[in-house]
Amino acid sequence: MQRIGVFVCWCGSNIAGTVDVQAVSEALKTEPGVVFFTNYQYMCSQAGQDIIIDAVKEHNLTGIVVCSCSPRMHEATFRKTAAAAGLNPYMVEIANIREQCSWVHKDMASGTEKAIILGKAAIAKVNLNAPLTPGESPVTKRALVIGGGIAGIQTALDIADAGFPVDIVETKPTIGGKMAQLDKTFPTLDCAACILTPKMVDVAQNDKIRIFSYSEVQEIKGFVGNFDVTIKKKARFVKEEICTGCGACVEKCPMKKIPNEFNLGMDNRRAIYIPFAQAVPKVATIDPSACNMLKNGKCGVCSKVCTAGAIDYTQKDEFINEKYGAIVVATGFNPISMDKFDEYAYNQSKDVITSLEFERLTNAAGPTQGKLLRPSDLEHPHTIVFVQCVGSRCAACAEKGKEYCSKICCMYTAKHAMLVRDKYPDTEVYVFYIDVRTPGKNFDEFYRRAVEEYGVKYIKGMVGKVTPEGNKLKVRASDLIAGKQLNIDADLVVLAVAIEPDKSARPLATMLTASMDTNDFFTEAHPKLRPVESPTAGVFLSGACQGPKDIPETVSQASAAASKVIGLLVKDKLKGNPCIASANELMCNGCSTCANVCPYGAITYIDKEFPMFDRTMQTRRVAQVNPAVCQGCGACTVACMSGAMDLRGFASSQIIAEVDAICR
Amino acid sequence: MHNDSRKIADEIILRSGVNPRRCMKCGKCSGTCPAYEEMEYHPHEFVYMVESGEVEPLLNSKSLYMCLSCFACVDRCPRGVEPAKLVEAVRNAYLRQQDNKHMNADDVPAKLDDDLPQQAIVSAFRKYRK
Amino acid sequence: MQVNEYKPLIVAFCCNWCSYAGADLAGNNRLNYPADVKIIRVPCSCRVNPMFILRAFQRGADGVIICGCHPGDCHYTSGNYYTRRRMALLFSMLDFLGIERERTRLEWVSAAEGAKFAATMNDFAETVAALGENKRLEDLRCKK
């Protein structure tokens, strides 16, 4: 039996004006467990708190009920008071007789009656309270960033700036991501490489940052503060620490016809390659599917020309094990496949290209050295048609397009159109749009400049069909404002293709037990107030893996994620919320229902041996709640069919006791 | 009159199974329509006019019979609106409107002659006045 | 004095993050609602086990209302979606048992909606008062 003290607060006249506090404390004294009762003007004042402390000591109290204002106001205060009196802080319950009683009820009789009932409910709950101690877990002071695009780079730099070691894992041979492929950036038109490559160099030179390029995350175990990650470093057949990136091997490699991924297959690279001149790390990589030496042992030119002796044909995939305190997901995006969009003739004509391909075509380091030439015949195009919303805002069928707006297309299409008109004023440029969406600083002004200063022809309507005919592309489209159907003979058609999360995101989310939406974008812990955290503790989101984003937005989210990571890593120990779920292993039947409803992936299953009546041991699968991950929502407690799952601090028995006390 | 029109529009929507509210007015249907030049009202206008209940002009338009039912608009609509099905439903609505215009049975005997097959006489009762 | 005046007994489950704060806001703004409403704080509306509601009816409650964050705004991401599904099932079962549908209610009240909280409680208390005492599920053994 608990020894409970009841403390009724007047709150000046706030409570005492509508509730007869004397009557309340008198009425509560006969409740089971109550050994002490009093009332005082301001319970939260130092004098009030001293009354509580003295009473605890004098009457040997084990539980405290304070009838006062909302627990959202002073629960923390009274918990501290209890701790000061040597009591477990979770042995305190508050009956909210101000906000939810005296302030909303006018007449004394009903107010007092309700206050008594609320007090009884709190007493009934305290009777079943148990001391709780928040779990503590150590924090590994190292962060992992998955993805080395601008999001990952910015996050890593910011975390390293705060003095914490960071590892970046990137699947490609170099970091840089999509931004490295871009030519100019809207709305300021500064060149992407000029602002990105210095950051890439910063990453390379920062002694707090390790780059695992050409690597993948293989396995993730553990939880916030204590992730245990296996990274697979794919064999690049070049010793990274020895290679100087001189490029002699690349020059001499006889396998010249491998489509160059960096230029989206619009030109060729060798079997041994460095993706681009400013690659970080600037190290050659051998493509095992193209290299003759690796396929049939005949060649070996690169190892002969390499003066550093960096080539190693026997290299194997390497597995690295490392512990991390926090993980940042920055897996980014890709344009969707155009296979389902036959009407745009993307697979039939080389002159129908995506916007990302257009970026490479206009980039000085691209396949045409920055001259805008048609991929098919390297002629200068005179009529260019841009089509927006290709696959975006497409609700017709899921495998075709994406239902969401890809957000960045309106702006980069305006940029492309403007740049074409600027460099080649003899070019006719049409942009077919459904809506032009330009919410952003200086965005609409930018789009209007494309129309007003550069004379880009914006047409409200959609392209229905593109038919290659000779060296022209027949574009049939509607002009909704003129009420006409247009037939344009175009030289080049550029598709603003929808973007989708990288394919690696889904398996990664499974490894992290982080939740995703139906489009495979990671979901944030709260859509408005916690936009860079995943609901899974210790997992943070950076960049387009969370939703379509342009560069400024990505960078700000990346820095925000970094600040959240720093906030986690500066802690030596993580103190959890002790009001978490726990499973009664004797009742648990291992059905997995609780794990399925848990939004945090806090529940795992272990096989455990239990003694049976006949003195044998039986192995059963039982649920285990990870106290560092559980946030205490209680979804599992209701889902549990055997009643094994319960929530500390809000146990079923406690809530039922409250119900009973109210209904008595 | 307006209420009537709305009723017909609702029936068209019901019969076609098309939800014109899904339309985001991109005009891809009209951009893709091979019979565009022949039509007075174009696929996107069909969707718009049925949605707003302005079906009267559609019912009396020759555009109804210019639609090839090639279903290019159905295939390419990004929102899955299916304009061709709507055109078909408007055509259907026009035909059903003829219900109260059957030939008067009393007029039929005057049109008979001896060579007329029995089947033709029966079907004459189903024919419309014009 | 109030002799034999019927007072309904209403149990309200409020989630800690939205509705309980909404109830506090109603208090801060001094918005009146009947004293018949007794609030029980739960971390999330998904903590409300259907058993609690049945228990309340068994013990003589005349109405039970569950308040949570608006869909999409749950502090725990998805808790209120679970609640919505569970309560849809429970309410139709209660309906089947002969408990009037109006005796149970699920409402979304955000921390900013003090006025909505008060209005909801006023409306609910009125509805329940009009229905009269809950006799269908009440366990007379629980009566003192």
Q: Tell me: pLDDT of B2 over 70.
A: no
Q: Average pLDDT, whole number, for chain A? A: 94
With beta carbons less than 8 A apart as the criterion, state whether A109 and A91 touch: no
Q: Where are the domains of chain A?
A: 4-127, 134-178+185-197+207-233+317-327+503-564, 235-316, 333-500, 581-648
Residue C88 binned pLDDT confidence (cut-offs 50, 70, 90): very high
Nearest by Cα to C52 from A647, A652, A597: A652
* Sign of the dihedral defined by the CA atoms of residues A390, A392, A396, A399, in that order: positive
The helices-and-strands tally (H runs, E runs) of chain C is 4, 4
- A651 is written with which tokens? 């146990």
- The single-letter DSSP state of residue A522 is B
Q: In the predicted model, is pLDDT for residue C123 greater than 50? A: yes
pLDDT in tens, B44-72: 999 999 999 999 999 989 888 899 899 99
User: Residue C87 pLDDT > 90, yes or no?
Assistant: yes
Express as a percent the part of chain B with pLDDT over 70: 88
Q: Which two tokens stand for residue A113?
A: 């009656």
pLDDT of residue A384: 97
What's the total number of domains in chain C?
A: 1
By a Cβ cutoff of 8 Å, what residues of chain A touch chain B? 343, 389, 393-397, 401, 432, 434, 460-465, 476-480, 483, 485-486
> CATH fold of A581-648, please?
Alpha-Beta Plaits (3.30.70)
pLDDT digits (tens, 9 = 90+) for B20-37: 999 999 999 999 999 999
Tokens describing residue C42: 């739960």
Q: Which CATH superfamily is domain A333-500 in?
A: FAD/NAD(P)-binding domain (3.50.50.60)
Q: Taking a C-beta distance cutoff of 8 angstroms, is the pair A650, A578 a contact?
A: no
A110/C42 CB distance under 8 A: no
Question: How many residues make up chain C in this entry?
Answer: 144
The answer to whether A387 and A493 have CB atoms below 8 angstroms apart is: yes
The DSSP code sequence of A525-570 is SBTTTBTTB-SSTTEEE-GGGSS---HHHHHHHHHHHHHHHHHHHT
CB contact under 8 A, C52 and A655: yes
In a domain, C80, yes or no: yes
Residues 6+ apart with CB under 8 A from A266: A260, A357, A360, A361, A366, A367, A375
- Where does the pLDDT of residue C2 fall: very low under 50, low under 70, confident under 90, or very high at 90 and above? very low
Distance CA(B49)–CA(B28), nearest Å, equals 16
Fold of A4-127: Rossmann fold (3.40.50)
In a domain, C91, yes or no: yes
The phi and psi torsions of B106 (rounded to 5 degrees) equal -65, -25
**C3 pLDDT higher than 50:** no
At A280 the pLDDT is 93
Shortest alpha-carbon distance between residue C5 and chain A (Å): 13
Token couple for A356? 């990302």
A43: tokens are 């319970």
User: What pLDDT, on a 0 to 100 scale, did the predictor assign at position C143?
Assistant: 67
State which residues form the domain around C21: 10-142
β A63-68/A92-96 pair status: parallel
Burial of A475 (0-12, 13-18, 19+ CB in 10 A): buried
Does residue C5 lie in a domain region? no
Residues A575-619: pLDDT tens digits? 888 999 999 999 999 999 999 999 888 999 999 999 888 889 989
Q: What are the residues facing C64 on neighbouring strands?
A: C11, C104
Judge whether C3 lies within some domain: no
The radius of gyration of chain A's CA atoms, rounded to the nearest angstrom, is 33
**% pLDDT > 90, chain C:** 71
Res. C72 pLDDT band, cuts 50 70 90: confident
Whether C4 is covered by a domain: the verdict is no
pLDDT band with cut points at 50, 70 and 90 for residue C37:
very high
Q: How far is CA A457 from CA A361, A383, A448, A498, C127, in A?
A: 21, 11, 11, 22, 62
pLDDT at C4: 55
**pLDDT, position A178:** 96
Tabulate helix, strand, coil % of chain A (nearest 5).
30, 25, 45
pLDDT digits (tens, 9 = 90+) for A338-370: 998 999 999 999 999 999 999 999 999 999 999
Average pLDDT over residues A521-546: 90
A103 and C30 within 8 Å at the Cβ level: the answer is yes
Query: Can you list the domains of chain B with their CATH numbers?
Result: 2-101 (1.10.1060.10)
Contacts of residue A120, defined as CB under 8 A and 6 or more positions apart, other chains included, come to A28, A31, A661, A662, A664
For residue A576, what is the DSSP state?
Answer: P
- What is the per-residue pLDDT for B121? 74
Q: What is the 3-state secondary structure (H, E, C) of chain B?
A: CHHHHHHHHHHHHHHHCCCHHHCCCCCHHHHHCCCHHHCCCCHHHHHHHHHCCCCHHHHCCCHHHHCCCCCHHHHHCCCCCCHHHHHHHHHHHHHHHHHHHECCHHHHHHHCCCCCCHHHHHHHCCCECC
- pLDDT on residue A221: 86
Q: What is the DSSP letter of A296?
A: H
Question: What pLDDT, on the 0 to 100 scale, is given for residue B46?
Answer: 93
Determine whether the interchain pair A635/C75 forms a contact, defined as Cβ–Cβ distance below 8 Å.
no
**Closest to A413 in 3D by CA, of A391, A431, A438, A400:** A431
For residue B123, is pLDDT > 80?
no
Determine, yes or no, domain membership for C76: yes
Q: Quickly list H helices, chain C.
A: 19-28, 50-58, 79-97, 114-131
Query: How many interchain CB pairs under 8 A, A with B?
Result: 72
Contact between chains at A485 and B44 (C-beta distance less than 8 A) = no
Q: Which of B22, B24, B26 should we substitute to test contact with A (largest number of A Cβ atoms within 10 Å)?
A: B26
Q: Name the strand (E) or helix (H) holding A661.
A: helix A652-663
| pLDDT value at C1 more than 50 | no
Tell which C residues from 64 to 123 touch A, by Cβ distance under 8 Å.
Answer: 72-73, 75-79, 82, 86, 118
Give the whole-angstrom CA distance, residue A181 versus residue A357.
Answer: 9
CATH number of the domain to which C61 belongs: 3.40.50
- Does the pLDDT of residue B127 top 80, yes or no? no
Q: Do A581-648 and A235-316 have the same topology in CATH? A: yes
Helix (H, G, I), strand (E, B) or coil at C69: coil
pLDDT at C43: 94
**Is residue C107 situated within a structural domain?**
yes
By CB neighbour count within 10 A (0-12 exposed, 13-18 middle, 19+ buried), where does A122 fall? buried
Judge whether C132 lies within some domain. yes
Fold entry, domain A235-316 = Alpha-Beta Plaits (3.30.70)
Question: Residue C74's pLDDT is what?
Answer: 85
A335 within 8 A of A498, measured Cβ to Cβ = yes
Q: Say how far apart CA B95 and CA A281 lie, in whole Å.
A: 72
CB contact under 8 A, B27 and A461: yes
Nearest to A662 among C38, C42, C77 (CB): C38
Query: What CATH fold (topology level) applies to the domain A134-178+185-197+207-233+317-327+503-564?
Result: FAD/NAD(P)-binding domain (3.50.50)
Which of A502-516, B60-74, C39-53: highest mean pLDDT? C39-53
Residues in C touching A103 (Cβ below 8 Å): 27-28, 30
Cross-chain residue pair C55–A656, CB shorter than 8 Å: yes
Question: What percentage of chain A carries pLDDT values higher than 90?
Answer: 89
pLDDT at B129 over 60: no
**pLDDT value of position C136:** 83
**B78 interfaces chain A, CB cutoff of 8 Å:** yes
| Residue B31 distance to chain A (closest CA, Å) | 4
Counting every residue written for chain B, the total comes to 130
- Across the interface, of C9, C44, C142, the residue whose CB is closest to A634 is C44
How do A226-233 and A258-259 pair as beta strands?
A: unpaired
